[in-house]
Structure 1
Amino acid sequence: MSDILHRLPEFIGNHPFLSFGFIAVLVAVIAAEVGRLGRGYKALTPAGLTQLINKNNALLIDVSSIQDYEKGHIPGARHVAMSQFDPENKDLAKAKNLPVAIYCRTGQTSSTAAKRLKKAGFADVYTLDGGLRTWTEAQLPLVKGRSAS
């Protein structure tokens, strides 16, 4: 181990771009992890979301466009367009102390909605990591049409 530490300055001197690249990647990974821990909500896999729904009776919200929702959504999901998404809505505010899981088609829009819920004081907020795409890749069921199951 001490031999490695003695040769480290020589390696850095001989390979400055490789060394700086390693440091940049290390800083990026640390920043991403700190950001993930500080965001306040948890990302779930399709299996994790299924467990949350079955065991904790989570409120499931789809913030996709109405066209995407009608093409297929998770059974039991309620549609709320992102343009109309309001964490202070009286119906949604009733769920402040319940687990709330949000998803969209790709997972990008649902992250914004999850941040808004956490900021509004919701206790347990979750997103489906990768959105509905990961749900369908896991070959889990979808419901078509407007009405939630």
Structure 2
Amino acid sequence: MAKHTGFEKLVADARKNITEISPHDAAAKLKSGEAVMIDVRDKDEWEEGHIPGATHLSRGTVELDIEEKVPDPNATIICHCGGGGRSALAAESLQKMGYKNVRSMAGGFKAWKVAGLPTTK
């Protein structure tokens, strides 16, 4: 199994600068309309299953496309990926772009499914 120590260090550093949110708290904010859920996984991951109501902006394009999808820098944005690493990087990046209320969902889509929360294809 390949080591990803460089990636893991980037993620650990990003987590020092962001706020993480649990899947249950993310679900409540999404359901109430308090937050926008951004799925930063790749297209094939999205197509295998995703969170109802989430917007897909892959990690490779999130910075380019976010201002069109979420023009309000004060909006609450919850990023998620498969396991929580890419979303931590995306959340940090969006904060650097001026978004003030960005969260990363701890554990990603895997944790969402383990929590028994709804998914769709």
Tell whether the structures are fold-level matches, with TM greater than 0.5: yes
Question: Which of the pair has the greater relative contact order for Cα pairs under 8 Å at 6+ separation?
Answer: 2
Distance 1:114 1:56, change over 3 A: same
Contact 1:87 1:116 in 2 (8 A): no
Counterpart in 1 of 2:6?
none
CA distance in 2 between partners of 1:141 and 1:86 (Å): 27
Deviation at 1:93, TM superposition (A): 5.1
Q: Taking structure 2 as the reference length, what is the TM-score of the superposition? A: 0.80
Any stretches of 5+ residues in structure 1 without a counterpart? 1-31, 145-149
Does structure 1 residue 135 correspond to structure 2 residue 116?
Answer: no
Q: Secondary structure at the match of 2:89?
A: helix
Does structure 1 residue 114 correspond to structure 2 residue 91?
Answer: yes
CA distance in 1 between partners of 2:57 and 2:113 (Å): 20
Counterpart in 2 of 1:60?
37
- 2:63 maps to a residue whose letter is D
Distance 1:89 1:45, change over 3 A: closer
Count residues with an aligned counterpart.
110
Q: Greater helix share, 1 or 2?
A: 1
Contact 1:44 1:127 in 2 (8 A): yes
Contact 2:57 2:65 in 1 (8 A): no
Picking from 45, 51, 59, the partner of 2:22 is: 45
CA-atom RMSD in angstroms: 2.2
CA distance in 1 between partners of 2:66 and 2:103 (Å): 19
CA deviations over 1:50-93 (Å, ceiling 9, x no partner): 12223353111000011110111111111111111216754145
CA distance in 2 between partners of 1:88 and 1:72 (Å): 21
Contact 1:88 1:120 in 2 (8 A): no
Distance 1:87 1:124, change over 3 A: farther
Percent identity, please.
Answer: 29
Larger Rg: 1
Distance 1:118 1:59, change over 3 A: same
Counterpart in 2 of 1:78?
55
CA distance in 2 between partners of 1:84 and 1:132 (Å): 19
Any stretches of 5+ residues in structure 2 without a counterpart? 1-11
Contact 1:87 1:93 in 2 (8 A): no
